[in-house]
Amino acid sequence: MITFDNVDKIYASGEMRVHALKGVTLHIEEREFVSIMGPSGSGKSTMMNVIGCLDKPSSGMYTLDGTVIGTATAKQLSEVRNQKIGFVFQNFNLLKRTSAIENVELPMLYAGKSKKQRRERAEYCLELVGLKDRMHHKPNELSGGQQQRVAIARALSNDPSIILADEPTGNLDSASSEEIMGIFKQLNNNGNTIVIVTHEPEIAVHTHRIIWFRDGKIESDRLNTGRVSV
């Protein structure tokens, strides 16, 4: 599903050169539930941008679901993000003044699906996260946990290869956090591949595999044996 082969990422601004990823080699299988951890500056955000096809590797090869990302054009990257990746952000990033269901429909709108298809799929995704009864609410009429659930429904809408979540519980209280992690678990049980970038151990413990970054390199990559169940 996700293959990193000796991937480097170097940011150059003026005289400064930041070597954010140094020879990362990694393989994530379909249906895995992975967390990427590390202190700030460890390269985990860069890792998330590269996995999410928001950025391209400087060298090395990144393959997502059989597609080599390094040579893709901006337009192709947009398509890959649209079709293969479902983003969940720390601050939800829902469109204001736009109802929950319309937010969920948006990726499908960009994919060019018909109105009927969009509506049906969006309702189904909202049902999965337990928000079907609130689908016509605007984001500001929903709690933080509910907003994040809408965001997850949006991430699911184009049936992506992976769901990529960046600190998905960073702005939530612990009860809502547990709720969100419960949804991720359920989705994983349904067969979705999920990658969560986080610095919170309480979140990482829910996942099956924890990859620890330090100084742009993978410091440790182990299965999580002490999983908690929700």
Partner 1 sequence: MNIGELLKLSFRSLQSNLLRSFLTMLGIMIGVATVIAMISIGQGTNNQVTSQIQSLGSNLITVTASSSGQSGAGGGSEGTLTLEDAEPISKISTVKYVAPVMQASTSFKNGANITSTSIIGTTPSYADIKSWETDIGRFFTEDEVTDKAKVVVLGASTAENLFGKAGFDAIGSIVKINNIPFRVIGVLKSKGSSGTTDLDDTAISPITTVQARFQAGGSKNSIRQILVEAKNPNTIQSTMALMEYTMRQSHKLGNGEDDFKVQSQEDVLSSAESVTKTLTLFLGGVAAISLLVGGIGIMNIMLVSVTERTREIGTRKAIGAKEGTILSQFLVESVTLAILGGIIGVLLGFGGSKLVGNMMSIKTAISMNSVLLAVGFSACIGIIFGVFPARKAAKLDPIEALRYE
> Beta strands 16-28 and 217-223: pairing type?
unpaired
Distance, in Å, from the CA atom of 46 to the CA atom of 54, rounded to the nearest integer, reads: 10
Q: With CA atoms as reference, report the closest residue to 61 among 106, 127, 129, 6.
A: 6
Contact indicator for 142, 172 with CB cutoff of 8 Å: no
Residue 10 touching partner 1 (CB under 8 A): no
Q: Does 52 contact partner 1 by CB under 8 A?
A: yes
**Which residue, 67 or 98, has its beta carbon nearer to partner 1?**
98
Site for partner 1 in 110-149 (CB under 8 A): 110-112
CB–CB of 52/164 below 8 Å? yes
DSSP code at position 206: T
**Candidates 101-109, 141-149, 173-181, 192-200 — which segment interacts with partner 1 by CB under 8 A?**
101-109
DSSP character at residue 95: P
By CB under 8 A, the count of residues binding partner 1 is 26
Q: Which of 17, 75, 116, 222 binds partner 1 (CB under 8 A)?
A: 75
Tokens describing residue 117? 């298809």
Q: Which is nearer to partner 1, 78 or 117 (by Cβ)?
A: 78
Given candidates 33, 62, 87, 184, which one binds partner 1 under the rule CB under 8 A?
A: 87
**Stretches 21-29, 61-69, 94-102, 123-131: which one binds partner 1 (CB under 8 A)?**
94-102
